[in-house]
Amino acid sequence: MKIHKEGRRILFFTLLVLLAVNLLLFQLNAENGTFNRIFVGASLVAFLILLQFFRSPARRLFTHEDLIIAPADGKVVVIEDVHESEYFDDTRKQISIFMSPINVHITRNPISGIVRYFKYHPGNYLVAWHPKSSTKNERTTVVVESEVGPFVLFRQIAGAMARRIVWYVNEGDEVSQGEEFGFIKFGSRVDIFVPVNTEMKVQIGEKVKGGQTVIAQLKV
């Protein structure tokens, strides 16, 4: 198990602060050993919780040119036909994956191809399951022209806890299925928009793994 690069600085400074506070407590509050030991235990638990936010497990990636692979770990919470207004301005099938704080927060390319559109949107921090979070929250939008033709749009969406979205792609980049395209610190949601005739391979409520679970198959 590795620690993702996005978490190394946060973890380092958090560890320094916790060590400093605990050492100070033992010096200034030496007579209250019980409290100090409880505080040490609480500090350790807090650091371990933060540590698991930034874990980067090894993955055997699954790739296929006409299959859509889950871009993140989490649970499928939406499968529906909607009007996508930012890029396509027509009806698309939306698949949404909710990332809880205990999920891996790496986001991966669901398809291989060329990035034809990218935009970062500053915004609010509504809870991820709020209907307006996909258009009101901080988010990124990426559109990839797949190797087999159809365009696929996917969004990183910040939630109530997530206050920082990181991305590694730009317009014109060639991306490979399963590779990291970003990171959402402390989790949230990823939306994927595909043609309405796309064949679904998952159901609402199903848990998926980024880079491994097939969620849909493009019609070509």
Scan for tokens 């402390």, then name that residue: 186
Scan for tokens 């590694």, then name that residue: 168
Contact assessment for residue 110 and residue 69, using Cβ atoms and an 8 Å cutoff? yes
Q: Which residues are catalytic?
A: 188
Comparing C-alpha atoms, which of 77, 89, 108, 127 is closest to residue 175? 108
Measured in residues, the chain has a length of 220
Contact assessment for residue 169 and residue 115, using Cβ atoms and an 8 Å cutoff? yes
Contact assessment for residue 37 and residue 29, using Cβ atoms and an 8 Å cutoff? no
